[in-house]
């Protein structure tokens, strides 16, 4: 008997050692990998242009004044210890006003389902899960290129994805005719993800007329438009203007979905504040959809955190605080725009053989350069400048102090007029 017990224990303990033997290292996330490489570099000149976070002109992370003031107002809030439902629903109300307009019918008539989400990523993930549950046969159409995590999010929710044409890498502009063809050729009732402003990574948005055409064709095909709004305010400096694409779809009476994030435009990355809203035919349908979304969230992470939501609610619900926020968004956008102009001018003053007009033709946090992966590697190795492999530069990390160093480095790795770069940069710009 004793011998049996010993050998059984031994057998089990041997098995314990094999629990995770089959687990292989995950491939590095393209954006997190850049930060790791940056952290490991000991050069005093190093620059991190990988992560999409805004920095001030000294390269420091920013806490907006409106956030500081909101923080002072919510100190000791009774909600920090209690059920967060009331806090969430107040924020959701402010979020939907910000996206769909404060006087919009959908908001006034409660024709939507809205839930607090774990920033933009969490809102997309919640929606992907909801899509799979209630349209299990569907797929999602994603722009090519797009934020790399979109692919992971819908893959993990087990919703197949397909790319639609978005960007013409030769002309450095929107590939509008092929985009529209893809919308027309997708099976009726497909799900399409759009970036309503400051497209990541290309910085290239459709014009108002083009949005109208996209909306019209989506209507004809009965597609479901899902907007990932991670940068409201970062395209034009005005959150109202940046909601224009969504308002066009609203005018065309689409039912849409929207993921909102306050990571960038309020600098609340660490608080993970976001909102998922889905427009519905009436308030009864809205309540049903909201209940299902809450149930999905409940099994994933229970209830979302409260503190950041109190900050966002305090800012958006108070006219003075909201004005201060809008001013600060403008200030961030102006600084980025100034850096875009300086970078372009510096490259032109260096007599670069390449055309750099796309630096200022693009909008938002990112400059989608035409640097090749080899040039990106050379910038890291020789100049300690880090960016994603596709040559996306976070303009948030470019400052008065480093912009000339950056221009000189870019000039150095591209000036030999490497054919690859020339082809990418100069055709049809
Ligand atoms: C297009 C897009 N969507 C969503 C997100 C997610 O942002 P977060 O989860 O930090 O709010 C990002 C962040 O980079 C983004 O660029």
Residue 30 Cα to ligand 1 midpoint, Å, equals 14
Question: At residue 342, does pLDDT exceed 90?
Answer: yes
Q: Are 284 and 58 in contact (CB under 8 A)?
A: no
Nearest CA to ligand 1 atom 12: 230
Q: Which of 172, 182, 264, 356 is catalytic?
A: 264
Percent of the chain with pLDDT over 70: 91
> Among this protein's residues, is 228 annotated catalytic?
yes
Report the alpha-carbon distance of residue 113 to residue 284 in Å, rounded.
10
> Among this protein's residues, is 147 annotated catalytic?
yes
Query: Domain locations in the chain?
Result: 28-61+333-426, 65-317
Q: What one-character DSSP code corresponds to residue 263?
A: T
CATH 3.40.640.10 matches 65-317: yes
What pLDDT, in 10s, does the model give residues 47-70?
999 988 899 999 999 999 999 999
What's the average model confidence in pLDDT over 356-365? 95
Question: At residue 192, does pLDDT exceed 90?
Answer: yes
What pLDDT shows up at residue 65? 98
| One-character DSSP codes across 73-112 | HHTT-GGGGS-SHHHHHHHHHHHHHHHH-TT-HHHHTT-E
Residue 119 Cα to ligand 1 midpoint, Å, equals 8
Q: How confident is the model at residue 29 (pLDDT cuts 50, 70, 90)?
A: confident
* 7 contacts: CB under 8 Å, gap ≥ 6: none
If 0-12 CB within 10 Å is exposed, 13-18 middle and 19+ buried, where does residue 216 land? middle
Question: At residue 422, does pLDDT exceed 80?
Answer: no
Report the alpha-carbon distance of residue 258 to residue 194 in Å, rounded.
10
Residues with CB under 6 A from ligand 1: 52, 119-121, 147, 195, 200, 228, 230, 261, 263, 269, 274
Query: Which residue carries 């909008």 as its tokens?
Result: 363
Residue 52 Cα to ligand 1 midpoint, Å, equals 9
Question: At residue 10, does pLDDT exceed 60?
Answer: no
Q: How confident is the model at residue 11 (pLDDT cuts 50, 70, 90)?
A: low
**Of 149, 201, 260, best ligand 1 pocket probe by most atoms within 8 Å of the beta carbon:** 149
Helical ranges in 199-282 per DSSP H: 208-221, 239-242, 244-251
Q: Could you tell me which residues are beta bridge partners of residue 244?
A: none
Residue 197 Cα to ligand 1 midpoint, Å, equals 12
Q: How confident is the model at residue 84 (pLDDT cuts 50, 70, 90)?
A: low
Question: Cα–Cα distances in Å, from 415 out to 343, 379, 406, 409, 421?
Answer: 15, 13, 14, 10, 9
| One-character DSSP codes across 280-321 | -SSHHHHHHHHHHHHHHHHHHHSS--SHHHHHHHHHHHSHHH
What pLDDT, in 10s, does the model give residues 91-112?
999 999 999 999 999 999 999 9
Query: Which residue carries 């959908």 as its tokens?
Result: 106
* 421 contacts: CB under 8 Å, gap ≥ 6: 354, 370, 371, 372, 375, 414
Kindly give the number of the ligand 1 atom that is closest to the alpha carbon of 263: 11
What's the average model confidence in pLDDT over 288-310? 93
Query: Which residue carries 């893959």 as its tokens?
Result: 155
On average, the pLDDT of the chain sits at: 91
Report the alpha-carbon distance of residue 239 to residue 247 in Å, rounded.
12
Report the alpha-carbon distance of residue 22 to residue 28 in Å, rounded.
18
Nearest CA to ligand 1 atom 3: 230
Give me the CATH code for the 28-61+333-426 domain, please.
3.90.1150.10
């Amino acid at each position: 008997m004793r011998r049996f017990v010993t050998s059984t224990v031994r057998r089990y303990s041997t098995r314990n050692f094999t629990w995770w033997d089959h687990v292989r290292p995950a491939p590095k996330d393209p954006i997190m990998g850049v930060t790791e490489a940056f952290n490991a570099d000991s050069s005093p000149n190093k620059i991190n242009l990988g992560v999409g976070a805004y920095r001030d002109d000294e390269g420091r992370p920013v806490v907006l004044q409106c956030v500081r003031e909101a923080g002072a107002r919510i100190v000791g809030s009774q909600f920090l210890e209690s059920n967060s439902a009331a806090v969430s629903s107040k924020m959701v109300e402010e979020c939907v006003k910000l996206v769909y307009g404060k006087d919009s019918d959908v908001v006034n008539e409660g024709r939507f389902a809205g839930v607090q989400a774990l920033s933009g990523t969490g809102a997309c993930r919640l929606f992907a899960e909801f899509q799979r549950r209630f349209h299990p046969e569907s797929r999602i159409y994603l722009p090519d290129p797009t934020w790399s995590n979109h692919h992971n999010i819908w893959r993990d929710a087990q919703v197949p994805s397909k790319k639609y044409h978005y960007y013409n890498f030769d002309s450095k502009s929107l590939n509008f005719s092929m985009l529209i063809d893809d919308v027309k050729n997708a099976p009726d009732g497909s799900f399409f993800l759009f970036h309503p402003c400051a497209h990541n990574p290309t910085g290239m948005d459709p014009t108002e007329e083009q949005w109208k055409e996209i909306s019209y064709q989506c209507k004809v095909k009965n597609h479901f438009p899902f907007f990932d709004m991670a940068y409201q305010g970062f395209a034009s400096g005005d959150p109202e203007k940046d909601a224009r694409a969504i308002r066009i779809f609203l005018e065309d009476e689409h039912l849409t979905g929207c993921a909102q994030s306050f990571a960038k435009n309020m600098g609340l990355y660490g608080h993970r504040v976001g909102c998922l809203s889905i427009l519905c035919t009436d308030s009864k349908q809205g309540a049903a959809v909201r209940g299902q979304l809450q149930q999905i969230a409940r099994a994933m992470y229970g209830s979302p955190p409260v503190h950041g939501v109190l900050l966002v609610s305090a800012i958006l619900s108070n006219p003075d605080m909201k004005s201060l926020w809008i001013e600060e968004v403008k200030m961030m956008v102006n600084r980025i725009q100034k850096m875009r102009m300086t970078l372009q001018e510096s490259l032109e003053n260096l007599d670069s053989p390449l055309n750099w007009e796309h630096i200022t033709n693009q909008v938002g946090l990112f400059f989608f350069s035409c640097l090749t992966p080899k040039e990106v590697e050379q910038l890291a190795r020789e100049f300690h400048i880090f960016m994603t492999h596709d040559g996306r530069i976070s303009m948030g990390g470019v400052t008065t102090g480093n912009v000339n160093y950056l221009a000189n480095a870019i000039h150095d790795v591209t000036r030999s007029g490497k054919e690859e770069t020339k082809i990418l940069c100069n055709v049809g710009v």
